[in-house]
């Protein structure tokens, strides 16, 4: 392919991709011919400052979606002891659909050693990471704003152990609805907190998978709730939502956990009308009473697929022949209704709602 070069990146202590020493990642990278986001602002960190992770340039051929899962182990940044990360910087060259970082828990059919990557396949099957807590995510990769720089609230951090395994899932799209003008590439910085005992941040991940957006019923709305356990007040610090191109509005509210009614407008914390570059709301300090949680709604507007309904119908488990978009990984042919919430103090359990 014209303009392509082979890039081989080795993980090395203190360098890009952090402290894991042996893994080798190889990819083809194409010289971009159109504007693509500049992520050089995600600088290389020394171990004293934190850890830098790099997914080197990879090709996203026209008409394809690339979803790969990269496995890493967290480096030792604190003499063998746990440490806190209190700032994240995530950079993605243009064309990213999502970037999720998870802590690896129950292994089903997806796993890898430090530095290994699983391309497609099991990396597209969400039951494989059903109980893997979210660390951080970003859906921003526009030419003008390809970097999310998030300083956590004062005194708050995410706790990690040396050697703890994480998975970085990158999804790029280069098709009708979303375009990757150059190569895909991701850089992530984890900044080491100087607080010996920070307040621990937790994450909540919720997904509604039994959804349908059909030609005959083109404006459906799906609602869900998810509550925090425990008897303490919770602070919501950041959040974002995720759907595909039929999504028209995604709203998230703080919720008292007992009322069966959409919370009032003054409890709305988040709204997205942008499926390909949804905002991430940072710097919140919304207090949720004990037993409360979040309430969300995903509204859709059915659209005719550019290439006809055959590929959409083929993915419909009901085989209704009604051009129904159902839950699935493909941004072109499927839909999502996902909610990501960052909160503190962390409860003694991961919080998922399916």
- 8 Å CB contact between 102 and 321: no
Comparing C-alpha atoms, which of 69, 76, 67, 24 is closest to residue 336?
A: 67
Q: Which of 177, 282, 309, 353 binds other proteins (CB under 8 A)?
A: 353
Nearer CB in complex with other proteins: 33/82: 82
Comparing C-alpha atoms, which of 148, 143, 145, 213 is closest to residue 179?
A: 143
Nearer CB in complex with other proteins: 58/344: 344
- The pair of structure tokens assigned to 226 is 């998810």
- The pair of structure tokens assigned to 17 is 């991709």
- The pair of structure tokens assigned to 293 is 């949680």
Count interface residues toward other proteins (CB under 8 A). 47
The footprint of other proteins on residues 119-148 (CB under 8 A) is 126-127, 130-131, 133
Q: Does residue 220 touch other proteins according to CB under 8 A?
A: yes
- 8 Å CB contact between 207 and 243: no
Tokens 């050697």 correspond to 163
Interface pattern 233-272 for other proteins (x via CB under 8 A)? -x----------------------xx-x------------
The footprint of other proteins on residues 312-331 (CB under 8 A) is 317-318, 320, 327
- 8 Å CB contact between 84 and 193: yes
Q: Does residue 224 touch other proteins according to CB under 8 A?
A: yes
Stretch that binds other proteins, among 85-93, 188-196, 306-314, 340-348 (CB under 8 A): 340-348
User: End-to-end distance of the chain based on CA atoms, in angstroms?
Assistant: 43
Half-sphere exposure of 196 (CA within 13 A, CB side): 1
Q: Does residue 223 touch other proteins according to CB under 8 A?
A: yes
Q: Does residue 225 touch other proteins according to CB under 8 A?
A: yes
Contacts with other proteins by CB under 8 A lie at: 105-106, 126-127, 130-131, 133, 200, 207-212, 217, 220-225, 227-232, 234, 257-258, 260, 291, 297, 317-318, 320, 327, 345-354
């Amino acid at each position: 392919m014209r303009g392509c070069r082979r890039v081989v990146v080795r993980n090395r202590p203190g360098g890009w991709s952090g402290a894991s020493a042996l893994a080798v990642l190889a990819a083809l990278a194409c010289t971009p011919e159109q504007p693509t986001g500049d992520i050089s602002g995600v600088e290389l960190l020394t171990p004293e400052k934190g850890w830098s992770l790099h997914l080197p340039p990879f090709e996203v051929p026209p008409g394809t979606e690339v979803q790969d899962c990269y496995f890493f182990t967290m480096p030792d940044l604190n003499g063998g002891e746990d440490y806190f990360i209190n700032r994240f910087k995530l950079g993605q060259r243009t064309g990213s659909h999502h970037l999720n970082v998870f802590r690896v828990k129950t292994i089903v059919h997806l796993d890898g050693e430090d530095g290994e990557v699983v391309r497609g396949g099991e990396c597209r099957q969400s039951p494989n990471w059903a109980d893997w807590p979210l660390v951080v995510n970003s859906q921003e990769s526009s030419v003008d704003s390809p970097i999310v720089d998030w300083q956590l609230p004062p005194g708050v951090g995410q706790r990690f152990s040396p050697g703890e395994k994480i998975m970085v899932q990158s999804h790029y799209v280069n098709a009708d609805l979303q375009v990757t003008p150059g190569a895909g590439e991701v850089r992530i910085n984890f900044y080491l907190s100087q607080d010996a005992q920070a307040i621990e941040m937790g994450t909540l991940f919720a997904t509604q998978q039994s959804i349908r957006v059909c030609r005959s019923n083109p404006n459906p709305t799906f609602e869900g709730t998810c509550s925090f356990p425990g008897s303490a007040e919770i602070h919501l610090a950041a959040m974002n939502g995720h759907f595909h191109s039929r999504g028209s509005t995604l709203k998230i509210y703080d919720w008292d956990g007992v009322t069966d009614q959409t919370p009032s407008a003054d409890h709305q914390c988040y709204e997205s009308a942008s499926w390909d570059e949804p905002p991430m709301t940072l710097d919140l300090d919304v207090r949720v009473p004990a037993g409360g949680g979040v309430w969300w709604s995903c509204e859709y507007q059915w659209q005719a697929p550019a290439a006809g309904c055959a590929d959409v119908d083929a993915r419909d488990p009901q085989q209704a022949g009604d051009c129904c978009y159902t839950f699935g990984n493909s941004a072109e042919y499927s839909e999502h209704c996902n909610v990501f919430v960052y909160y503190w103090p962390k409860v003694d359990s991961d919080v998922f709602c399916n």
